[in-house]
Amino acid sequence: MRIDVVALFPQAVQVFCETSMIGRAAAAGLVEFGFWNLRDYAQDARRTVDDRPYGGGPGMVLMAGPLVAAIRAARARQPAARVAYLSPQGALLDHGAVMELSRRSGLILVAGRYEGIDERVVESEIDEEWSIGSYVLSGGEAAAAVVIDAVVRQLPGALGHEDSAREDSFVEGLLDCGHYTRPPVFEGRKVPEVLLSGDHGRIRRWRLMQSLGRTWLRRPDLLAGRKLTVEEETLLEEFKREYRGLRS
């Protein structure tokens, strides 16, 4: 997979992509990156890439000329890739969207800045818009890093254990259960006995029950449209009884 990033500060994303899991995935040849600095495509000696908005108002807007030139340079490297603008007005990025993006051969991410980008660029160059949440960032570089992290970890071989991505929150439409590691007792708090039992069947059921229970408590909207299996219904009811018993 190849991911190109068009931004005013691409170095911020580049450093992120050189670390940890993403850096290892790149070193292993699972993903390739390209970074395109808008100032390299400025059309004056001062390397200007932004200007005041027509009609007045606060802030600055990224100019069409440098942005279009940078996007087209990235397109030349991977003509089949769709261009995605990271914007609070875009479709909300969820697990299903991440999985769809991870199956592509390439992606071009455009990071905005200031008040946004010239709308004519959206009309002529942007294929899709994605939002990572209902809030505004100073720039799209952070959002690009989020998209890259979410997508790259889904590539086969990117994570240390093949089951890691499959057991994350949202993969099965549920939140993940809690996790524990050594020591078995920390400041008087013990690891749940079932996790020390070695009984893989009990462990699986406990983890599923905790996952269902956490989703019920924290994200009940995820359960609203989900048809539970008989086992899931039984485990969720068991969790509710234990939870209410602790609160009574």
What residues act catalytically?
Answer: 88, 115, 153, 168
Alpha-carbon distances, residue 236 vs 50, 102, 214, 233 (angstroms): 54, 32, 10, 5
User: Is there a contact between 165 and 121 (Cβ–Cβ < 8 Å)?
Assistant: no
CB count, 10 Å around CB of 125?
20
The position carrying tokens 């505004």 is: 136
CB count, 10 Å around CB of 201?
8
CB count, 10 Å around CB of 141?
24
User: Is there a contact between 91 and 97 (Cβ–Cβ < 8 Å)?
Assistant: yes
Cβ neighbors of 165 (< 8 A, separation 6 or more) are 153, 154, 158, 159, 171
- What span, in angstroms and rounded, lies between the C-alpha atoms of 235 and 45? 67
Cis peptide before 66, with omega less than 30 degrees from 0?
A: no
Total H helices, total E strands in the chain: 9, 9
Q: What is the DSSP string of 58-83?
A: SS-EE-HHHHHHHHHHHHHH-TTSPE
